[in-house]
């Protein structure tokens, strides 16, 4: 297979099914599955304020996805085709990066197979065209793997700087990745045994983080990447385990007693009554962080149960189905119940076998990255949407196993033909 043919195959596998879903779902792209970044982007385009309410800056979410949506809304308007089209391009970029990783470090066939398997993940095919913050995690995760493996080979300052920038952007996309630079740099020290790329990567990574934390210090009042530690508290309190076990999500956990209005709640009041409720995000950040840490320290047994529950939810091959989910009893639900496990279970098994066929450096990096995601989920919460952006790593491991299996089947078939 020529490279042009391989690229065309990967592009078709990525784009065509997503275009079909986009056209089918065009009426709900902007009406369902929306989230905070969408509100921030609309407010910024309308008023120049990065927050929920014009004139009241906020840091109540990770900023990168909102800044991804802002130029789309500004240039094309808030339209289903603009959002869906842009996100399909992001998905295509991810697929091409996965192909590049497999081709560069395994083989041409492995690259094509890994990219096709990864991009045809049923969960991603559906959610990639909706407002979906994790779509940027996929692109940045694939870029991170490629650059880390290249840095381990070449020890180039330019590659290290690019890796640092990707790490910084990944954290601004998802603050759960805040400790990922430590994992990546430890891997580089272990495999490359060189300090210079590590130092360059860490310095460059710190630049966008410091810039954003500085913006929050001047506009919101605290030097932080995001103020929404209520999410951390919702995942770590006495009501969390029971809520999740009953089919809810952490958003269904009862509110902290007598807590002040959050920025989201104040925004709801603003939309209905056009009244601005004062909110001290920094005080709330400290309150919820303190309560979450106190729960972990005071109830280690309960936290251990939560950690085990989170790990199970993260790696459950079925897509998480919460009681209050949008699209309940529709096609998306049927896909969660039947299609996703049919894809995910073979992927798990093939990835486990294929890990022993990968180059050792690549296999260990995948193990470290997936272990990090698991540990973070155990500290916070686990769900399908947190895992699937990194399923491409499983596809990279599964590809050589699929190739070996196919070669074995062909060899057995030839033997039977020759002896028959």
- pLDDT the model gives residue 155: 83
pLDDT tier, 290 (very low <50, low <70, confident <90, very high otherwise)? very high
Interatomic CA distance for residues 240 and 254, integer angstroms: 9
Strand partners, 53: 56
Strand partners, 56: 53
The whole-number average pLDDT for the span 326-335 is 61
Interatomic CA distance for residues 358 and 393, integer angstroms: 12
Domain chopping of the chain, boundaries: 3-419
Q: What percent of the chain has pLDDT over 70?
A: 96
N- to C-terminal Cα separation, the chain: 31
pLDDT tier, 417 (very low <50, low <70, confident <90, very high otherwise)? confident
- pLDDT the model gives residue 225: 96
Does position 304 have pLDDT exceeding 70, yes or no? yes
DSSP 128: T
The 3-state DSSP class for residue 92 equals helix
DSSP 381: -
Does position 322 have pLDDT exceeding 80, yes or no? no
- pLDDT the model gives residue 144: 97
Question: Does the predicted TM-score (pTM) go above 0.75?
Answer: yes
* Mean pLDDT, rounded, of the chain: 92
322: CB partners within 8 A, 6+ apart: 247, 248, 249, 252
Helices (H), 155-280: 157-173, 180-192, 196-219, 230-234, 240-245, 263-273
Dump pLDDT digits (tens) for 163-188.
999 999 999 999 999 999 999 999 99
Dump pLDDT digits (tens) for 188-208.
999 888 889 999 999 999 999
Dump pLDDT digits (tens) for 395-404.
999 999 999 9
Q: Angle at Cα 54 formed by Cα 52 and Cα 59, nearest 5°?
A: 40
Record the tokens describing residue 183, joined without a space: 């994992």
43-47, 64-68, 129-133, 338-342, range with the lowest pLDDT: 338-342
pLDDT tier, 299 (very low <50, low <70, confident <90, very high otherwise)? very high
Does position 333 have pLDDT exceeding 60, yes or no? yes
- pLDDT the model gives residue 61: 94
Dump pLDDT digits (tens) for 339-376.
899 999 999 999 999 999 999 999 999 999 999 999 99
Task: Find the helix packing angle between 180-192 and 196-219, rounded to 10°.
Answer: 170
CA-nearest of 68, 62, 95, 96 to 83 is: 68
- pLDDT the model gives residue 50: 97
- pLDDT the model gives residue 416: 74
pLDDT tier, 2 (very low <50, low <70, confident <90, very high otherwise)? confident
361: CB partners within 8 A, 6+ apart: 149, 152, 191
> CA of 379: how far to CAs of 90, 149, 231, 292, 319, in Å?
29, 28, 12, 10, 20
pLDDT tier, 150 (very low <50, low <70, confident <90, very high otherwise)? very high
The whole-number average pLDDT for the span 216-228 is 96
Dump pLDDT digits (tens) for 69-99.
999 999 999 999 999 999 999 999 999 999 9
pLDDT tier, 419 (very low <50, low <70, confident <90, very high otherwise)? confident
């Amino acid at each position: 297979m020529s490279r042009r043919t391989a690229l065309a195959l990967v592009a078709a596998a990525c784009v065509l099914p997503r275009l079909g879903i986009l056209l089918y779902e065009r009426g709900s792209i902007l009406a369902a599955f929306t989230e905070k970044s969408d509100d921030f982007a609309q407010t910024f385009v309308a008023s120049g304020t990065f927050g929920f309410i014009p004139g009241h800056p906020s840091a109540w979410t990770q900023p990168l996805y909102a800044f991804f949506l802002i130029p789309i809304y500004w240039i094309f308007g808030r339209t289903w085709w603009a959002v869906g089209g842009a996100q399909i391009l992001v998905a295509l970029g991810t697929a091409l990066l996965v192909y590049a990783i497999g081709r560069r470090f395994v083989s041409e066939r492995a690259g094509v197979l890994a990219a096709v398997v990864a991009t045809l993940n049923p969960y991603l095919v559906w959610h990639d065209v909706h407002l979906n913050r994790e779509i940027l995690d996929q692109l940045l995760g694939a870029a991170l793997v490629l650059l880390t493996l290249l840095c381990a080979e070449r020890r180039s300052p330019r590659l290290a700087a690019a890796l640092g920038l990707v790490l910084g952007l990944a954290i601004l996309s998802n603050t759960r990745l805040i400790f990922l630079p430590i994992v990546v740099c430890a891997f580089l020290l272990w495999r490359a045994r060189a300090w210079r790329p590590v130092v360059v990567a860490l310095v460059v990574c710190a630049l966008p983080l410091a810039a954003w934390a500085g913006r929050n210090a001047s506009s919101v009042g605290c030097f932080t990447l995001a103020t929404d530690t209520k999410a951390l508290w919702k995942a770590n309190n006495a009501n969390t385990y029971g809520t999740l076990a009953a089919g809810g999500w952490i958003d269904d956990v009862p509110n902290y007693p007598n807590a002040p209005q959050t920025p989201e709640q104040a925004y709801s009041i603003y939309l209905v009554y056009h009244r601005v409720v004062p909110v001290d995000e920094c005080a709330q950040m400290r309150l919820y962080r303190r309560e979450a840490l106190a729960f972990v320290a005071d109830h280690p047994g309960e936290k251990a149960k939560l950690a085990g529950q989170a790990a199970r939810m993260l790696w459950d091959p079925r897509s998480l189905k919460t009681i209050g989910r949008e699209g309940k009893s529709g096609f998306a639900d049927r896909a969660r119940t039947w299609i996703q496990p049919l894809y995910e279970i073979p992927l798990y098994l093939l990835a486990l076998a294929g890990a022993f066929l990968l180059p050792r450096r690549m296999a260990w990096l995948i193990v470290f990255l997936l272990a990090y995601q698991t540990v973070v989920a155990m500290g916070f919460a686990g769900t399908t949407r947190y895992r699937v952006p990194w399923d491409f790593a499983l596809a990279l491991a599964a590809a050589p196993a699929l190739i070996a299996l196919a070669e074995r089947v062909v060899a057995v078939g030839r033997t039977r033909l020759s002896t028959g």
